[in-house]
Structure 1
Amino acid sequence: MKIPKNIESHLLKQLSNLVSNEKKERMKRLLNSCDINRTLIGDLLIRSLICQKYKINNEEIRFRYNEYGKPFVEKFSDFHFNVSHSGEWVVCATANFNVGIDIEKVSEIEAFKLAHEFFSADEFYDISNMNSDEQINYFYDLWTLKESYIKTIGKGLYIPLNSFSIKKESRTLISYKNIPKNFYFKQYNIDPNYKLSVCATRDEFPQEIIIKDIYTICQNIYKFESKEKINAED
């Protein structure tokens, strides 16, 4: 979902009432209003999908976290999800198996230096043989692919980025080292200025991504709210 440039304050307040108190506290600790909006919409995006899939009231949704901080939905152990946001975009992936997603806005960076610091020797070698523009583009390809894998296994940055290698052979062919065989990758073109990668434990990716808007998300949530709850908010 692309975040609206201007979300009216009264709408933000109304949307905030749809998330947990724990999430509200986390949002209060964020200093940047854009980060607050991205965090809020990411939570609502997942809630709308859960409400739609299981036909339940939003208030019934309970998120729990594993020892590494990855969230899961209480009572629905077969619902796996992951959220990522960057710049104007908030994205999520859902499945009945482990899945991870990462989006990054492409910006001018010292790709050569960062690759040397964070990537494996094989990945650094590949980047070192590219020109500066190619380095930046490929860096974000690898970064989002690697992040999507780490998020799939649910251990976050407890897994060093340089402990495994990924190589993008072509637009669709991705190879890797030091990653179990039952992991698969796919990239999507969502925006010319962004890189979007998904990883999963099954090779079952949709061909296209679905773009939603804030109003559709809210409709999916409110559809299963009680009339008393809606009237109280009005």
Structure 2
Amino acid sequence: MNILYSFIDESRHKYLMDRYLNTFPEDFKKDILKYRRWQDAQLSLLGRVLLQHGLNTHYGISEAEIGRLPNNKPYLKGHSIYFNISHSKNLVICAIADFPVGIDIEFSDDTINYLDFQFQMTAGEFEKIHHSEDKIKSFFTYWTKKEAVLKAEGSGILIPLDSFEILNNECIIDGKKFFTKEIFIDKKYSCCIASNKLDVQNKSICFELFQN
């Protein structure tokens, strides 16, 4: 399992656009050029660059075609390799594995009032957040776990966050068990990876900071 990540940088924006944008399909290029803020354009572009680099470097896949499932979840055509991309604030991350995977990263914004999100958690989860020593960290830990699970499951917003409870890094959705694992990338961010395969907890992870 490989996890690649990169921080965005305004001083590198023109270089990154010139270097990579024309290497992608026309529809993806158009989507990137629609963004008004350079931050959004670079986050989206780097997500695909990380995937491209990871597939080529670690899996020997030099040309990757991305398709969409009926639930709009992206997948890699012609290969039994799975990926998921997430970004928040100034950081973008990409997980690549040989089993289904979801990843979520969130900037730990200490201005957030976790009480506003009580309805998104189960009673048990909220109780643990509310009585934790670092409530903001605990909140974002649960939030990234639940978002990663939803991305691994594939139905996305069709499943309410409070409809399943994560206990001991496990949860069940529609009779299917999912497993989660916290990942440390940066002290200002919370990150978690999830899968319906126990491999997500047991397999070693290769981390790579992408700088180009």
Task: With the length of structure 2 as denominator, give the TM-score of the two structures.
Answer: 0.85
| 1:22 corresponds to 2:35 | no
The RMSD of aligned alpha carbons is 2.2
Name the structure 2 match of 1:162: 162
Runs of 4+ in structure 1 off by over 6 angstroms are none
- 1:127–1:135 contact (8 Å) kept in structure 2: yes
- Matched length: 204
Label 1:208 to 1:49 Cα distance change in 2 as closer, same or farther (>3 A). closer
* SS in structure 1 of the partner of residue 151 of structure 2: helix
Tell me, yes or no, if the aligned pair for 2:35 and 2:41 is still in contact at 8 Å.
Answer: yes
1:20 is displaced (CA, Å) by 1.7
Q: CA deviation at 1:53?
A: 4.5
Q: Deviations over 1:50-73 (max 9, x none)?
A: 223553443xx2111112211011
User: For residues 43 and 87 of structure 1, what CA distance do their matches in structure 2 show?
Assistant: 17
Q: Which has the larger radius of gyration?
A: 1
Matches within 5 A, 1:188-203: 188-203=183-198
Q: How does 1:136-155 map to 2 (within 5 A)?
A: 136-155=136-155
1:64 to 67, 85, 95: 67
Contact conserved, 1:188 with 1:209, CA < 8 A, in 2? no
Q: TM-score, normalised by structure 1?
A: 0.78
Identity %: 26
Contact 2:105 2:189 in 1 (8 A): yes
Q: In proportion to residue count, which structure has more strand?
A: 2
The 3-state SS of whatever aligns with 2:209 is coil
Aligned to 2:7: 3
Counting only pairs closer than 5 Å after superposition, residues 1-234 of structure 1 correspond to structure 2 as 1-5=5-9, 6-58=11-63, 61-76=64-79, 78-108=80-110, 109-114=112-117, 116-130=118-132, 134-167=134-167, 173-176=168-171, 178=173, 180=175, 182-205=177-200, 206-215=203-212
Q: Counterpart in 2 of 1:218?
A: none
Please say if residues 146 and 166 of structure 1, whose CA atoms lie closer than 8 Å, have aligned partners that are also in contact.
Answer: yes
